[in-house]
Structure 1
Amino acid sequence: MTPTADNPAPSALTFRTVDLRGHRLSLAGLRAAVPRAQHDTLADAEQKVLDIISAVRARGFAALSELALKFDGVEQTHPRVPAEALAAALDGLDPAVRAALEESIRRARRFADAQRPADTDVELGEGAVVSQNWVPVARVGLYVPGGLAVYPSSVIMNVVPALAAGVQSIALASPPQKDFGGLPHPTILAAACLLGIDEVYAIGGAQAIAAFAYGIGPADGAAPGTAAGIDPVDVVTGPGNIFVATAKRLVKGVVGIDSEAGTTEIAILADATARPELVAADLVSQAEHDPKAASVLITDSEELAAAVRGELDALAAATKHGARVREALSGPQSGVVLVDDLEQGIAACDAYAAEHLEIMTADAAAVAARVRNAGAIFVGDYSPVSLGDYCAGSNHVLPTSGTAAFSSGLNVTTFLRAIQVINYSRAALAEVSGHIVSLSRAEDLPAHGEAVTARFPAGG
C-alpha cells in the first residue's frame, strides 16, 4: 500500500529496553527503573481535573453542558438518559452480544456472591460480646469509560458486585456520544438495562466523578419535586483514563473509591519456555486500548525478547488499531525489562505492581503464588488478560500505576462497610473496669475512667 496523506506510513515501533542484569537494586531502585508514564503528564492532568471539579461544584448542570460540548461535541440540556432509550437499546442489541453479556453476568455473579464476608460474633466473656457486621453503602456512582472503545463489560464489572453487596441506589455514568444523539453508546445502555439499572447519565471524564462525589442540585426551571438533580454518592468506582483516575484520587475522602483504575497496563513475566507469539499478542491486546497504555515484558531471556519484538512489529502492522498500538508500545510506559533470573523478575514484578500480570514461565502457578503485588494475576498460556476483561468471572476494574501494592481490584467489599457492635452487660463491664481506669490514667484521660466508674456508684 502506498502511503498518502489519508494513509500515512506507519511510524517505527521502538519497544525500549531496560537492562537490570548485573544490578541488584533496592525496591526503590526497581520502582525507579521499571517503565512508567512521564510524571509531567500526571501533574498537568491534576491541574486540569481540579479546574473541572471546581466548575462542576460551582455551576452544576451548566458546567456539565459546557464540558459535554467541549470534550464530546454534544449539546446537552440534561444528562439523564430517558428510560425509553434504555429499553430501546436492549431491544436492538445484537443477539450474539446479548448472549455474551448474559454469560459474563452469570460468571461475575457467581464469583461476586461468593465474596461477601460473613458477620462475626465473638463472646469474650459472659455477657461480653463484640460483633462485626458487614453493611452495604447506601448509594454508589459507577463510571464506564467511552472514547476510543465501547465497554459494556465495564458495566457488568461495576454493577454486579454492587448488587451482590446489597446496594440499593446505583447510578451509572458514561460519556455522551455525538454519533448517538448525545447518549452513551447503545451497547452500554443495553448492558445497564439488562442489569436493571435505570439511573444512567451521559457524563464523561472527571466531570462525572465530580458530579457523583458532590452531587448537583435541580437544574434551573425544574419543577418542584422532580428528580432532576443528582444525589451525591458514598462510593465511586470504575476505570478510565488519566483524568478519571486523577479525579478519583482528588475526591477520595469526600467519597470512597475502589482504586485509581487509570489507563490500562499489562506486565508479562516470561522465561525461555514462553511462546513469543502469545506474549506479543497479549502485549498488543492491551496496547490497543489507548496510546498511553503500558505493555511491559519482564524476562531473563534475550532470545525471547528479540523474538517478541519481531512478533510485535508484525502484529502492529496487521491489527485494526495499529497506529494506536505502535504509539503505546513506543512510549516511555512500555518496554522490555531484562533481568538476571526468575528471582529478580519476581522482584521487578512486585516493584511494578501491575494492573494485569501474566505469568508465562515453567511451573507458572508456583511462580504466580510468589508474587505479592498485582491487581490480577493470569497464570499460563490459557489465561490471557482478554479472558479477565470479558468472561473469566473475575473483575477487570483494577488498580494501576503501581497502586496494586496497597489497593485491590473492585469486589463486593468495595461496597460494604464493617461496623463493629459492642454489647456488654453490667457484670461484664465491671470485670474490666479496673483496667479501663488504669489505662485512662496512663493516657492522662481520667474522664474516660470516670465514665465507667459513674456506672458503679459506691454501694450501688
Structure 2
Amino acid sequence: MIRKLSSKSKNFDSELSSLLSFDNDSNDEIYEVVKKIISDVQTRGDQALISLTAKFDSLDVSSMAELTISKDRLKKSFDNLSNDQKNALKTAADRIKSYHQKQISKTWTYTENDGTVLGQKITPLDRVGLYVPGGKAAYPSSVLMNSIPARVAGVEELIMVVPTPNGICNDLVLAAAYIAEVDSVFTIGGAQAIAALAYGTGSIPKVDKIVGPGNIYVATAKRQVFGSVGIDMIAGPSEILVICDGSTDPDWIAMDLFSQAEHDEDAQSILLCPDKDFISQVENSIKKLLPTMKRVNIISKALKNRGALILTKDINEAIEISNRIAPEHLELSVEEPESLLDDIKHAGAIFMGKFSSEALGDYCAGPNHVLPTAGTSRFSSPLGVYDFQKKSSIIMASPEGANTLGQIAATIADGESLEAHARSALFRTKNK
C-alpha cells in the first residue's frame, strides 16, 4: 500500500533517491505534437483554435464568439451558486488579496553625495494570461490564486482560457473569474490555448506572461513558448511532506497524505517521524480511511508509487531529509513548530503546527498555492505579486558623478577593447 523506510538502513540513501526520482519532461512524441499545434495556431490563428477545440474537446463551433464567455455569463454563474459557495469564494478572495497586498514593491531611489540618483522603477505587466484546467479538473481556487496577485500588482488586463469538453462549463470556475474581475474568458484549452496567449490570434490578444497549471501538453507548450512570453513555472505533480513528532491524531496525518495523493497517481506523500509506533498508527489509519475515499484508486496508486512512511533517528534528522527533498508543501505537525522554522531551508509553503492542514493553504489561508515542485523550492518561490511586476534600473548621473564614473568606466572599457564605450563615457568628463 505504502512503503516504509528507515534512515538507519544502509540502503536508505539510494532508496530515498529512487523515491524522489521523477521525469517531468515530455517525451519526443508529445514535444512534436505540441510543436505542430503551436505552429498551426501561429499560422491560422482563430481558425486553428476552432478546429483544434472540435478535435480535442468535442466542441463544434463556427466562430470564436461561441468560444467566448461574456461577463454576464460570469455573473450568472456566480448568481447560480448557493450562499455558502458565494461566501466561501468571496472570503477566500478577500484573504488572498489581503495577504498579497503585503508583497507590493514600490519604486525607490537614493541620491549620492555628488548628486547622482540611482534606483529601481517597479512597473506591472500590461496583460497576463491565466490557464485554468477544465473538464474533470475544475479548480476555482486556481482562478483566485493566479488572478488576484496579478490584480494587486496592477496588471491592467487578465485573459483567462479554460477548456470546456463537450461544452460543459463549471459554475464555480466562472464565478471565481467573476469575483476576480477577469477581463476576458475563452473556452479553449491545451497547447493551442497556450499558443494563442503567447502569440495572439484575431480574437485573443498576445499576453506578457502565462500562469496556471495544466497537463503534460500544457506544460510542454509553456516550455516551448517561453522566451516569446514569460511563464510562472513548469509544475510537476503535487507533493506533501509531513514531519511529525507523534503528537498528532494519526487519522489527521493519514488524511493529510491523502490530500495530495488524490490529485493524481504521480503525486507524492511522505511522512518523516522518529516514533516507530506512531508510524504504525498512521499506517493503520491509512488502511482504515482509504476505502472511504471517493478517489480511492488514485490515492492508492499514488501512495504505492511515490508515497513513504520514513522512520528517522530524531526530528533534526527529519529536517535534514526534508531539506534534501525540498518539498512543495511541508507540514511541521509538532508541538513547537516555531523552534524548527529556522532550520527549514527549502519548502514552497510551511504549515506550522497540528491544526495547520495543507488544505487550508490550497483554498483560503491567504498565501498562494502555486508553489515550486520537484525540489525546485531550492531556488524558486511561491507565485506572488512580484511575478507580475518588472524592475527597471534608474541611473541619473550628475555632472560630478559623470566625471568620476566616466573615468572608471573608460578604464574598464579600455581593458575590454571597447573604444566607443570608453569615449562615450569620457566625453562627459572634465578631461575629455
Query: TM-score scaled by structure 1?
Result: 0.86
Q: CA deviation at 1:43?
A: 6.2
Q: CA deviation at 1:165?
A: 0.4
Give the corresponding residue for 2:324.
351
Aligned sequence identity (%): 36
**CA 1:386 to 1:59, structure 2 compared with 1: closer, same or farther past 3 Å?**
same
Matched, 1:253 2:257: no
Tell me if the contact between 1:388 and 1:396 (Cα under 8 Å) persists in the aligned partners.
Answer: yes
**CA 1:197 to 1:43, structure 2 compared with 1: closer, same or farther past 3 Å?**
same
Pick aligned residue for 1:130 from 118, 140, 144: 118
Distance 1:46 1:310 in 2: 43
Residue pairs, 1:156-175, within 5 angstroms: 156-175=144-163
Pick aligned residue for 1:412 from 378, 385, 394: 385
Distance 1:297 1:66 in 2: 47
1:172-200 superposed Cα distances (whole Å, 9 cap, x missing partner): 1112142xxx2531221111112222300
Give the corresponding residue for 1:282.
256
Tell me if the contact between 1:34 and 1:337 (Cα under 8 Å) persists in the aligned partners.
Answer: no
Q: After alignment, is 435-444 or 93-102 more displaced? A: 435-444
Give the corresponding residue for 2:349.
376
Q: CA deviation at 1:70?
A: 3.9
Q: Which amino acid aligns with 2:260?
A: Q
Give the corresponding residue for 2:237.
263
Distance 2:347 2:236 in 1: 14
Q: After alignment, is 51-60 or 381-390 more displaced? A: 51-60
Matched, 1:195 2:180: yes
Give the corresponding residue for 2:215.
241
1:432-451 superposed Cα distances (whole Å, 9 cap, x missing partner): 22212211122222321110
Pick aligned residue for 1:61 from 38, 46, 62: 46
Q: After alignment, is 195-204 or 81-90 more displaced? A: 81-90
SS of the aligned residue for 1:122 comes to: strand
**What CA RMSD, in Å, does the superposition of the two structures yield over aligned residues?**
2.5
Give the corresponding residue for 2:404.
431
Distance 1:443 1:292 in 2: 51
Distance 1:378 1:196 in 2: 30
Give the corresponding residue for 2:294.
320
Q: Which amino acid aligns with 1:188?
A: V
Matched, 1:109 2:97: yes
Give the corresponding residue for 1:90.
78
Q: CA deviation at 1:274?
A: 3.7
Tell me if the contact between 1:242 and 1:262 (Cα under 8 Å) persists in the aligned partners.
Answer: no
Tell me if the contact between 1:21 and 1:340 (Cα under 8 Å) persists in the aligned partners.
Answer: yes
Matched, 1:185 2:144: no
Q: After alignment, is 381-390 or 73-82 more displaced? A: 73-82
SS of the aligned residue for 1:115 comes to: coil
Q: Which amino acid aligns with 1:448?
A: H
**CA 1:320 to 1:161, structure 2 compared with 1: closer, same or farther past 3 Å?**
same
Matched, 1:336 2:323: no
SS of the aligned residue for 1:417 comes to: strand
Matched, 1:300 2:288: no
Q: CA deviation at 1:16?
A: 2.2
Tell me if the contact between 1:30 and 1:348 (Cα under 8 Å) persists in the aligned partners.
Answer: no
Give the corresponding residue for 1:20.
7
Matched, 1:215 2:189: no
Tell me if the contact between 2:372 and 2:381 (Cα under 8 Å) persists in the aligned partners.
Answer: yes
Q: CA deviation at 1:48?
A: 4.4
Query: TM-score scaled by structure 2?
Result: 0.91
Matched, 1:390 2:363: yes
Residue pairs, 1:221-232, within 5 angstroms: 229-232=203-206
Unpaired segments ≥5 residues, structure 1:
1-13, 219-228
Distance 2:86 2:108 in 1: 40
**CA 1:348 to 1:240, structure 2 compared with 1: closer, same or farther past 3 Å?**
farther
Q: CA deviation at 1:123?
A: 1.7
Tell me if the contact between 2:406 and 2:428 (Cα under 8 Å) persists in the aligned partners.
Answer: no
Q: CA deviation at 1:361?
A: 2.7
Q: Which amino acid aligns with 1:442?
A: G
Tell me if the contact between 1:295 and 1:334 (Cα under 8 Å) persists in the aligned partners.
Answer: yes
Q: CA deviation at 1:143?
A: 1.4
Distance 1:156 1:192 in 2: 7
**CA 1:84 to 1:313, structure 2 compared with 1: closer, same or farther past 3 Å?**
same
Distance 2:15 2:227 in 1: 30
Give the corresponding residue for 2:133.
145
Q: CA deviation at 1:355?
A: 1.5
SS of the aligned residue for 2:367 comes to: coil
How many positions carry a matched residue from both structures? 429
Give the corresponding residue for 2:372.
399
Distance 1:146 1:245 in 2: 15
Q: CA deviation at 1:44?
A: 6.0
Distance 2:276 2:28 in 1: 35
Distance 2:61 2:301 in 1: 33
Tell me if the contact between 1:123 and 1:130 (Cα under 8 Å) persists in the aligned partners.
Answer: yes
Distance 2:144 2:424 in 1: 50
1:35-66 superposed Cα distances (whole Å, 9 cap, x missing partner): 34356876665454444433433443343334
Q: Which amino acid aligns with 2:113?
A: G
